[in-house]
Structure 1
């Protein structure tokens, strides 16, 4: 991978300066999962955050993203 997994919100925000590609999205999701775990959040907590109303993603997109986050949660050590 060309990106390191972000470990804090600032590093996730710094990804906005990079071109969007599949690898960058995967790294951002991995960082999100890693940060949630380090803050003691459960998968249910994180999923609830992803599913909250958002002006950027519609309901279907948020459901799709929550499924991907759950898969990452289950496969990451």
Structure 2
């Protein structure tokens, strides 16, 4: 993986300056979010509720898909 797993939301936000987003960046961001929220004591249920919350950026179908990806990633870290 070309991107280290971020340790903070600021590191993830700094990636907005990158001109290209690729699969590795997305995977590292998902891993970073899981790392951050679990270190803050949040559960998978809390994280998926946040992912599934209504948001203008992603459609309902995209949020469901992302929720499944996050769940699979969470399970692989457990």
With normalisation by structure 2, the TM-score equals 0.94
- CA-based RMSD: 0.8
Quick one: distance in 2 between partners of 1:69 and 1:14? 21
Matched, 1:14 2:39: no
Quick one: distance in 2 between partners of 1:53 and 1:7? 26
SS at match of 1:20: coil
Matched, 1:39 2:40: yes
Unaligned 5+ runs, structure 2? none
Quick one: distance in 1 between partners of 2:68 and 2:61? 11
Q: After TM superposition, what 4+ stretches of structure 1 lie above 4 angstroms from structure 2?
A: none
Unaligned 5+ runs, structure 1? none
Give the corresponding residue for 1:26.
27
Give the corresponding residue for 1:65.
66
Count the aligned residue pairs.
77
Instruction: Give a deviation string over 1:15-70, Cα, whole Å, max 9, x none.
Output: 11221000000000000000010000000000000000001001000000000000
